[in-house]
Each structure stands twice: as C-alpha cells, then as structure tokens.
Structure 1
Amino acid sequence: MKTNLHLNQSSCTQLVAPSPLPSGVSFRSYPSLQTSSTAELKLHSQRQLAWQIAPNLFLSFKYAWAGICYAFETQRNFRIHTAMTVIAISLGLFLQVTGVALAIVSLTCALVMVLELLNTALESVVDLTVGQSYHMLAKIAKDCAAGAVMVGAMAAVLVASFILLPSLVPFLLTL
C-alpha cells in the first residue's frame, strides 16, 4: 500500500498525511520526508517528539539503547570494535592483569566505540543535509569523523599492547 506524504506549504511544519499518523502530528521541517512505507510512517509517528527532551529517564535510556542497536546492526566497524573490546577485556581477565590496567583497557576500548557512535551520528546528519548530492564540506566532515575513530582505534591498540603483551608473551612461551 503506497501512502503519499507532502508538506503543507503554508507552514512547512505541519505534515499532511492519511492514517496511520494521528491527527495533529507535527514534525520539524523535513523537506525530504517522502515516505511510501506504512512501517516508516509508524516509526515517524513513534518518534514524533524525539527531538524534545525525553519526559523520563527510562525513555532516555530507551533512545540511547536504540542508537547503540542501530549502530551495531548497520555499522560493520562498530561490530568489529565491539568484538575487539570483548577480546581485549576477556584477555585481560584471563591474564589476570591488575584492576587498574583492565580499567584502562576497558575505557580505551569504550572511547573507540563512543567515537564510532559519534561518527555514525555525524554521517547520518550530513546525509540528511546534503541528500544524494556531493558536497566537499560533507566529505571533509565525514573524513574527519572517520579519522577520529581511526586515531582512537590506534591508541586503543597501543594501550592494549602495552598492558596485555607483557603478560601474554610469557604465557605464550610456556605453551
């Protein structure tokens, strides 16, 4: 079933659409909101007030978890960083490194995942802004965000190496 949406030209903030959106639903000005899927309409109606402050802590956590799940499901590099984090922390536990050392490895890995989430958010906002067109400033923004993730990942590898290798090498030599 195809549903056509269009913006009301008089206000540019009212979305005129047939159901399943409830009457009186307003969004910010989204000129690119041309949706043909009922599932997408439901998603938009569920998140209609997502740009406002969440009314309670539970909803804040729900939105945050949705962002993490989105990154895990759609971003290959986020899945790779998650796997590397699990490996690094597991190796630290197995090698019985100190609590401080394990905390440093964990925080460094978490920093990489935070940078990847910010990179994903920035890429989404840039794509929303420029659409399908090419813009040099959009390229610069995306490249710099990806570079930040790369610098963080290299730092995490160095930190994990400095902390885990001194315990790992003697263990491997005894095998």
Structure 2
Amino acid sequence: MHRINSVLFKFKCAFKGLFIAFTSDNSFKIHFAATISVIFSAILLEFSKSDWMIIILLIGLVLVAELFNTAIEFLVKLFTDDYHELAEKILDISAGAVLLSVIISIIIAVFIYLPYLL
C-alpha cells in the first residue's frame, strides 16, 4: 500500500509541476496556446494517423523543452538574483534548447501541413 501512495504522490507532484509552469511562465502559456492552435488545425485538416503521431511528438518536444527551461530558470534564481556570467550562459543555453526544438518543429510541421493546404 505504501508503494501505491508513493506512486500517487509522484503523480500529484508532477501535475503540480505542470500547474506551476502553466501559471508562472508566460512562455509555457504561449507554447500551450500554440499547441491548441496546432491541434485544432490538425482536426480541421483531418490529419492522418501518422501525421498526428508526428505532431504530438513535436508538441511534446517543445513543451518538455520549455518545462526544463522553466525549471532551470527557477534553479538559477534559487542561487542568485544578481548578475553572474555563468548564470547568464546557463539561462541562454536553456532558452536556446527551447528555440531549437521550436525551429525543428516548425520545419517538420511545414512538411506535414503543405500537402493538406495545397
């Protein structure tokens, strides 16, 4: 029984983390809004099963990258509010990871959307 409670507690913490990211990070809100737009357009365009799988994977890639970025931002703020060159590099690299995931997602999305739009 203790093991089940532990698993449930971990899920509770995970959902709490999603809630914190959604309520405290504007970038996560923007990515989430983009996710809703992508899902809505995919429904309207009647994506194939394989296209849905790719789009869901890309959405996951971007949202997970943003969650890690948000966590890293909180971690840096935990240690300093003052400017520090290494802190800046950490935050820039983390933001760069999100940007790269978005660029990759957009490139692949163009290949998926074009046949439906033409």
Pairwise same-fold verdict (TM > 0.5): yes
Measured after TM superposition, the shift of residue 64 of structure 1 is 0.6
Q: Percent identity?
A: 36
| 1:128-143 matches, cutoff 5 A | 128-129=78-79, 131-143=80-92
Q: Partner of 2:26 in structure 1?
A: 76
Cα distance in 2 for partners of 1:90, 1:100 equals: 17
State how far apart, in whole Å, the 2-side matches of 1:112 and 1:165 are. Answer: 21
Cα offsets for 1:117-162 (capped at 9, x unmatched):
0001011111112x22211000000000000000101111111121
Over aligned residues, Cα RMSD in angstroms? 1.5
Shift of 1:109: 1.1
Q: Please identify which structure carries the higher helix content.
A: 2
Counterpart-to-counterpart distance in 2, 1:132 and 1:91: 41
Counterpart check, 1:161 vs 2:110: yes
The AA in structure 2 aligned to 1:75 is D
Q: Distance in 2 between matches of 1:96 and 1:117?
A: 29
Which residue number in structure 2 is paired with residue 57 of structure 1? Answer: 7
Task: Please give the alpha-carbon distance, in whole angstroms, between the structure 2 residues aligned to 1:113 and 1:149.
Answer: 8
Structure 2 length normalisation: TM-score? 0.91
Partner in structure 2 of residue 97 of structure 1:
47
C-alpha distance in structure 1 between counterparts of 2:72 and 2:63, whole Å: 14
The alignment status of 1:152 with 2:109, answered yes or no, reads no
- The separation in 1 between residues aligned to 2:40 and 2:111, in whole angstroms, is 16
The separation in 2 between residues aligned to 1:61 and 1:150, in whole angstroms, is: 28
Which of these two proteins has the greater Rg computed from alpha carbons?
1
Within 5 Å, which residues of 2 pair with 1:27-66? Answer: 56-66=6-16
Q: Runs (4+) of structure 1 moved beyond 2 Å? A: none
Q: Which amino acid aligns with 2:78?
A: L
Q: What is the CA–CA distance in structure 1 between the aligned matches of 2:99 and 2:6, rounded to whole Å? A: 35
1:168 Cα deviation (Å)?
2.1
Which structure would you say has the larger RCO, counting Cα contacts within 8 Å and 6 or more residues apart?
Answer: 2
